[in-house]
Structure 1
Amino acid sequence: MSEIQTVRGPVDTAELGVTLMHEHVFVLSPEIQANFPEEWGSESERVEDAVAKLQRAYDAGVRTIVDPTVIGLGRYIPRIQEIAARVPIQLIVATGVYTYEDVPHYFHYRGPALNDAVGAEVPEPMVDMFLSDIREGIAGTGVKAGMLKCAIDAPGATPGVERIMRAIAAAHHQTGTPITVHTHPDTKAGLEVKRILCDEEGVDPRRIVLGHSGDTTDVDHLAELADLGFVLGMDRFGINLDTTFEARADTLIAMVERGYTDQMVLSQDASCYIDWVDPEVMAFLPQWHYTHLFEDVFPYVLERGVTQEQIDTMLNDVPRRFLEGR
């Protein structure tokens, strides 16, 4: 028997069921929210809206959601606990730091940044933070992180990005907690993940989800990453501003045809509310929600040769094996 931590406590991985491996409940800018509360509006209305949207996901068949909201994305676990208590979906939360370039200012004069100043090697404080979230729980809530999260985007492996990745690797080696990485496939950021996390830090690529792999239609590159052992996050269905519904779905079909069903997980990277996006822009993303896969994507791919068994593998078997470490 294997267990995974959820907001309501540990569950047997056999009970995970249909699992979306990359969704958010809220993505927020804490300083904006704290200083301009009118942006957020009514707390009770936001919570009620989240409960309703997560219930719709459950009604569509979803049983577990991995929410990789970490520092840099507005993580606030007490609110998530309140919502989790009212919906049957199991929520797995994460620890880590999300940035495309620099570490948060908090870390500028802490840890390795002080090595030269003090003439000695200073421990990385991020590692202890991640370990505390995994072992003791987040911010006194008792909710333990079940995933580690970092990011690398178009700016590439900046010093800040590398520093966070190496802290993530250290926490992974001490706990076995799996890793998800926001990546930018158009710049082949997955290969930098391989260099830093795998080649230099010794993380098994089978313990890493390369998030947002479905942002590209370069199937040869995706096959290259899968051949290295990574799990590919085809996890932004519904975000069709710079691509199309068909491009995302056809890329999934092509990867299934090439035999990579066992190395892909599915999601939409949706949220109940994200303050990064103007509501007027959201109007152009009508499919960006928790049930788009079930309502639109699966009928499309089933008509074009993907089987229900293959969909079930990507929704059930691959997430479970990944979270178990198998």
Structure 2
Amino acid sequence: MTQVATVRGPVAGTELGRTYMHEHIFTLTTDVQQNFPQEWGDEDARVDDAVAKLGALAAQGVRTIVDPTVIGLGRYVPRIQRVAGRVPELNIVVATGIYTYESVPFYFYHRGPAIGRPDPMVDMFVKDITEGIGATGVRAGMLKCAIDHQGMTGGVERVMQAVAQAHHRTGTPVTVHTHPGSETGLEVKRVLCDEEGVDPRRVVLGHSGDSTDCDHLSALAEAGFVLGMDRFGINTATTFEARADTLVEMCRRGYAESMVLSQDASCYIDWIDPEVMPLLSQWHYLHIGDEVLPYVREHGVTEKQIETMLVEVPRRVLEGNG
């Protein structure tokens, strides 16, 4: 039976249940938090808040979340272990990789290819997957990289290539932050799949739901990718209805088997001034269950399609980790 790595240890794919494929717990600018602790506040209070929010999500019937917080997003697994230990009904899958839109972190500038040697990123990612992250023993169950409107910069390409090599060595699935308005999924296809040989069926194109261009999304699905309809609740550049109607149309076209759902929410994110957060009133873990699913049901999405997007496709993607 295929096992999937989670924070509390491996679980059978059959135990994943309803799964949100892109939810953060803490999204942090680590240097700021470490040097200006007043911005973070009380550690125990932050953990308590996360436990309450994730407990409410589990009470909705969600059994697993993938937290793609990696280098560049403030990953700190010991804190996630504290949270996971207090929400035993929820599986948390963590990730390895690097989040950048442009250059690699300075640590990597004069290592690896710069001096004619293999890229150290690859071994770092593989260790996170096969041995565990730091001294925690927690194994990553997902690889993560990113490309945004800046396109395929040298740094983005280097990280993507390292992710591909780690994928080939471990079989671990890949999630990619994309910018569908710039059709960066096509660049992911070129580098990750056409050049590096990663099967697109093992790749989630994150934030595909930022686009309402169903023809473009359909082409990516036809190429084999899994589309992350995973920013429900972020309605600044779009609307609730636009996101939901896109999902409805893609289901009508027969692509439920090529989509996963999520909200890209966090218990705490320091990228946004707390005074702004009330303007994002739907951006939270319960939004899909409370508002999105009732809306799409009313507009023709079937229970079978919902089960496919929330249970069957995530299990198919994650079980590939072996």
Q: Tell me the TM-score range normalised by the shorter chain.
A: over 0.9
CA distance in 2, matches of 1:321, 1:105: 36
Cα distance, 1:325 vs. partner?
2.8
* Pair 1:297 & 2:298 matched: no
| Number of residues of Structure 1 aligned to a counterpart in Structure 2 | 320
Corresponding residue to 1:157 among 139, 144, 152: 152
CA distance in 2, matches of 1:287, 1:309: 25
Matches within 5 A, 1:28-107: 28-87=28-87, 88-107=89-108
Cα distance, 1:287 vs. partner?
0.6
CA distance in 2, matches of 1:82, 1:322: 26
CA distance in 2, matches of 1:237, 1:201: 31
CA distance in 2, matches of 1:131, 1:8: 19
State the match for 1:147 in structure 2. 142
Unaligned residue ranges in structure 1 (runs of 5+) = 116-121
- Measured against aligned partners, the alpha-carbon deviations of 1:170-221 in whole angstroms (never above 9, x if no partner) come to 0000000000000000000000000000000000000000000000100000
Matches within 5 A, 1:222-301: 222-301=217-296
CA distance in 1, matches of 2:208, 2:320: 21
- Measured against aligned partners, the alpha-carbon deviations of 1:257-278 in whole angstroms (never above 9, x if no partner) come to 0000000000000010000011
Seq. identity, %: 68
* Pair 1:10 & 2:13 matched: no
Query: Aligned partner of 1:62: which letter?
Result: V
Query: Aligned partner of 1:40: which letter?
Result: W
Q: CA RMSD in A?
A: 0.8
Matches within 5 A, 1:95-174: 95-115=96-116, 122-174=117-169
State the match for 1:188 in structure 2. 183
Corresponding residue to 1:318 among 299, 313, 316: 313
CA distance in 2, matches of 1:21, 1:70: 15
Secondary structure in structure 2 of the residue aligned to 1:286? coil
Secondary structure in structure 2 of the residue aligned to 1:279? coil
State the match for 1:119 in structure 2. none
Query: Aligned partner of 1:6: which letter?
Result: T
CA distance in 2, matches of 1:9, 1:197: 29
Unaligned residue ranges in structure 2 (runs of 5+) = none
TM-score of the aligned structures, taking structure 2 as reference length? 0.99
Cα distance, 1:309 vs. partner?
1.5
CA distance in 1, matches of 2:77, 2:301: 38
